[in-house]
Structure 1
Amino acid sequence: FSTLFLPKLSVLFLVVNTDDGPRALTLEDYLNGNFQYKTFFPYWVSDNEYLHQSAEDDIILYNVEMNYPTTIMTNSTMKQVNASNYVLSSDKYFIALESNYSKVIILIYCLMKFLVSFSILLIVVAIDKCFLVLF
């Protein structure tokens, strides 16, 4: 019983667009870093509606049943407060904007790290005292 190993062959076909419309992506574009993309993260607020940021950074509420977008907030408001994230209230009347969150997270991380280290130290001390009492 023998196994035959065959090399795999990969073929890449690049199509070049010759008209004045949008051109196809080339291997050179990819290798030179000219290819860019934007991620899409919808935030579902109901069974048939989701929020997302448009290419212009507007916050859009999109109804999938009616195929209808509604602009909830424009990018000018987001830029004015330097908002990096948002949350829509359940009644859809209010929106909370998150700004300068990295500093808060760093402080919370440092505080949590201190508290965890401190509580571990207390547990070790308590265990040592128990051993001292037992021995």
Structure 2
Amino acid sequence: MSNAIEKLRLDKYLWAIRIFKTRSLATEACKAGKVKLHGQNSKPSALVKIGETYHIQKGIEKKVIKVIDLLERRVDAKTAAAYYEDLTPVEETYGYKSTFHAPVLRRDRGTGRPTKKDRREIDDLQEEWFSDEGE
């Protein structure tokens, strides 16, 4: 599978293997510190090397990928999967999916915006829901 590509930008690689829908989204994620290599933020222009492991946060989804080979052009998802290894821990994968099954908070109509105290109570309640599901 080894191709002649020796240098490849991180943002272009993440776009090509379909982690991000557009290259500009990949660039923004790198600039925002959502893509890390060895715990350090990675720049969009950083060169990708085979064997490196990246930690990527995309919204509430967290991914850990290992570079197997370099891919310059965007290809279909099945082909792209051959260029990286998904090392995302199972509990994180299921944790992401379980957030969709979490209870939905509802406020009565006409009660207005939550006060600061209400907001803290809501946050505490949500924190309990998500921490209990992972155990």
Question: Quick check: which one's helix share is greater?
Answer: 2
Structure label with greater radius of gyration = 1
Normalised TM-score (structure 1): 0.26
After TM superposition, the score normalised by the length of structure 2 is 0.26
Larger strand proportion of the pair: 1
| Greater length-normalized contact order (CA 8 Å, ≥ 6 residues apart) | 2
